[in-house]
Amino acid sequence: MVREVSLPDILDAREQRAGRQRYLLEKYVSPIISFSMNIPGPVKDTALIRRAFAWGAGELEKSLKKAEIPVAERLEVRAFTGCEQQLALRADPGMIKTLCVAIEESCPMGRLFDMDVIAPDGRKLDRGEERRCLVCGQRGRGCASRRVHSVPELQAAARALMEEHFAALDRDTVVRLADQALRREVDTTPKPGLVDGRNTGSHRDMTRDTFYQSADALRSYWGRCFDLGRESAGRPPEESFLLLREAGLRADAAMLSATNGRNTHKGVIFTLGTVCGAVGRLWRPETPCRDIPAICAEAGAMYAPTLARDQAAFTGATAGERLYLKTGNAGVRGELAAGLPGVTDVALPAMEAALSAGCDENTAAVASLLALIGRGTDTNMIHRGGEDAAREASEDAAALLRSGPVPDLAAVEALDDAFIRRNLSPGGCADLLAVSLFLRAWQHGE
């Protein structure tokens, strides 16, 4: 529940802040930082303001550690009158002030940070150049003294600073984790029939370097997907997907250019791109959505109407259309439209079970891939080897997890050799593994 502050509340908060400052000055006879938020209007405490304060406190902590400035004591208050932190430090006051001003000026949202530095004698250090107006950017206090801008204008400007900051921050995290997921997927070893650290699987025209080059080319695409989802969040889910499809075609061209025409990530451009768009659609500045089932369901809602129209027009002109008309297996397209059950119900549970059993992350990813192959739904396997060979190979993969959640890697290597002899490659399962690695990292805020 949002609570507005009154003038007595503000005065009481100031008195308590001064008391904490006196306590630290008398106890340590050293400079202190008094960090609070410069939030206009009567509401000083919301989830978004707390996130902004926590980010600022984190930047302050990192800066102090980098400068090797020890903190003698830290006091923190989180109340409806606002978040505050007072720190007693062992360093030169001027040096500390320079550090604090650098944080305040490091990004637009820093305009909302008040990092006062108080010398051991109680004197507050001047920051030098006056700060800019939240609304018009003019330096000095002229706007405030003349009340040029209304409180709603100031509030809107402050919120915009926080929203834009965290949209960019979360976008960068999506990019980093998506790129990391692609690299972790190709590095996972051994992977039956796939390029990994052991061999190139059933692919004679690709190496791990090919996949790294492709990942480099796709890096900006993941951020674009997040932005498109966020910007179209107020529209029907399918409209977000149609925007993503256009971006995906450009990403596909960038991939082919980077790999000299080799299809390394076509499937993951489709699946993970839609997932990143779903993360954007569900994003809120106070805290991004990290609920994996909700994200996968949103991705399914984005794509399902398009798939339904496509399926109604299938004529059997392609191998994928013929397989669907014959068996009802829609491959990765059906997987995405259904909300990625292979990720939520198969891959991630297998990964967590293996990790809980004490294995390392590589082995857990191998277990996750085996569980996906064991479902027997990878259309790439069927295309390359036929239905009977694909079914037998899926059964062989599933068998490696029957005795427990942690696979015998020697047995997986033997299965890899068998897949290569049969020219089988579970590329669709590899794409779902990459999506799973991304979502698990995103969920944990890594």
Reported as a single tens digit per residue, the pLDDT across 61-100 is 999 999 999 999 999 999 999 999 999 999 999 999 999 9
Q: Which pLDDT score is estimated for 337? A: 96
Report the percent of the chain where pLDDT is more than 70: 99
Name the band, by pLDDT with cuts 50, 70 and 90, for residue 318: confident
Model confidence, pTM: 0.93
Q: Which pLDDT score is estimated for 133? A: 83
Question: For residue range 156-170, what is the model confidence (pLDDT) as tens digits?
Answer: 999 999 999 999 999
The answer on pLDDT for 295 being more than 70 is yes
Q: Which pLDDT score is estimated for 81? A: 95
Mean pLDDT on 287-316 = 92
| Whether the Cβ atoms of residue 370 and residue 350 lie closer than 8 Å to each other | yes
